[in-house]
Amino acid sequence: MRGPSLRSACLSLLAFVPGACAPPFAKWETPLESAPDLSEAACLALPGALPAGAQLDTFISRLKSMSARRVRWGFTWAAVERQKGVLDFAPHDGLVSGLADADIEQTLFLGYGNPLYSAAGAAAGGDETYPPDDASEFGRYSAALVARYGARVKRWEVWNEPNAGIRFFKPQTNPTAYAALLQAAAAGVRQACADCEVLFGGTVSIAYPNAGVPSGGDFIRSVLAAGGTDFDAVAVHLYMLYPPCSPPEGGPNACAYWEGRAEVSFETQISEVVSAGGDKPFDVTEMGWPTFTPVSGKGAVTEDAQASWLVRGALLGAAKGARSLCWFTLEDEAVSSNSLPEGDFGLYRYGGAEKRSLRAFGELFGTTNAGRFIRDRGEELGLLRREHALLFGGSDRLVTFLWREESAKPRTVRVRLFGPTKAMRPGRGEAEVAIDGGFAEVQLEPEPIALVSTRP
């Protein structure tokens, strides 16, 4: 009779000796070349207000200091074509050129509608979120825009949250109309730039049936069935139930608005949207949490929680293969609300004071220099449910990120190291960790800790 396999013997030891199945000390693991580099994915998503002039210099300086390598933004069709057939892109040339000259990659989203070409939009007082009556007009605009900037901008996202018809694709979600728009836009992009990418517009991943908003995956499948098939990658928007007040791993919602309702984790949101789109490459073109205290007092998001969830959400997205991880957004707005805190997603408070999430962003994407995702170390370390250990690496280092979710109990785990190691908590700088004989004793906390091992 054959004895137990080495793997099963290892697993049986985990109950007594955490780390028993660890790789040999100082083994150097090779990152997958197909996995995107974490630092290259660092991205900021901009709202409608765009910097210009002296503000642009300050904006680019901020991006550089926080290690952002990409920006996702867009300006409206109605802003550049105020008279039929007359397009004026000049007000936006400075931002496109400034970012490109600073070696910051750009994803521009194509949108929105134009009341000159939408009877419903004109009747609604010039509302730009109504699509055009004739999708070919949007294709014409797309071709002109890409002809202008295609040498500097290679990724073009078609619309923003098209499944949220109640807000961004009025009067209601319409997969057939979006399919026509997507095909027309793709034709325009490809006509003007052979090596540019077309992204399926970033969807609200979670369904809101009472508002007529299908999940991102359901919407993509409906668009494909309606003939909307011409895209190279999908854009994903990662948020918890609005207003976001729950961690990226899911669990029961803590806000009074959705109290007790099960949240869909970032990992599940990504899997559903990407699989619906045919497992093509994907970019997270928006993710974030506002800092706010609801009127009810339940589900408050502190600046510490925002920083922690930024790091955890980005790591989970990177582990799934995201090419871009775009945080929404840079700075809070002047006016917001504790019930609908749309203006409080910033890494800066209004007026320029830094939140902890700004430092967390810079240290995660820059200081750790973590490289590409390699594997999940949870089983190897004997981690429990709602405990996490993700391994990233590059040519000269391996970085293990460890944390527990808020609902998990504090616990110390013993982690085998790969070489000389220092520890840090993104957002708080260097951390104290006991290291002995090639192992680290790590207290798992909701704020991730990074064990940065350099090649001996």
Strands (DSSP E) contained in 25-85 are: 42-45, 70-73
Q: Answer for the pair 90, 81: CB distance below 8 angstroms, yes or no.
A: no
Q: Does domain 38-367 have CATH number 3.20.20.80?
A: yes
The distance of Cα 88 from the centroid of its chain, to the nearest Å, equals: 31
Q: Answer for the pair 128, 141: CB distance below 8 angstroms, yes or no.
A: no
Q: Answer for the pair 417, 24: CB distance below 8 angstroms, yes or no.
A: no
Q: Which fold has domain 6-30+372-454?
A: Immunoglobulin-like (2.60.40)
- The span from the CA of 236 to the CA of 353, in Å, is 29
Q: Answer for the pair 212, 178: CB distance below 8 angstroms, yes or no.
A: no
Where do the CATH 3.20.20.80 domains begin and end in the chain? 38-367
Q: What is the CA radius of gyration of the chain?
A: 23
Q: What is the pLDDT along the chain (456 residues), one digit of tens a residue?
A: 333 333 344 444 443 444 444 444 445 677 767 789 999 999 999 987 678 887 899 999 999 999 999 999 999 999 999 999 999 999 999 999 999 999 999 999 999 999 999 999 999 999 999 999 999 999 999 999 999 999 999 999 999 999 999 999 999 999 999 999 999 999 999 999 999 999 999 999 999 999 999 999 999 999 999 999 999 999 999 999 999 999 999 999 988 888 889 999 999 999 999 999 999 999 999 999 999 988 888 889 999 999 999 999 999 999 999 999 999 999 999 887 777 799 999 999 999 999 999 999 999 999 999 999 999 999 999 999 999 999 999 989 999 999 999 999 999 999 999 999 999 999 999 999 999 989 999 999 999 999 999 987
Where do the CATH 2.60.40.1180 domains begin and end in the chain? 6-30+372-454
Q: Is 364 helix (H, G, I), strand (E, B) or coil?
A: helix
Token duo for residue 317: 């997205």
Distances (CA, A) of 261 to 243, 246, 398: 13, 11, 38
Any idea which residue has 């004997």 for tokens? 382
Q: Which residues, other chains included, contact 354 with Cβ-Cβ below 8 Å and sequence gap of 6+?
A: 347, 348
Q: Answer for the pair 301, 253: CB distance below 8 angstroms, yes or no.
A: no
Token duo for residue 121: 């939009």
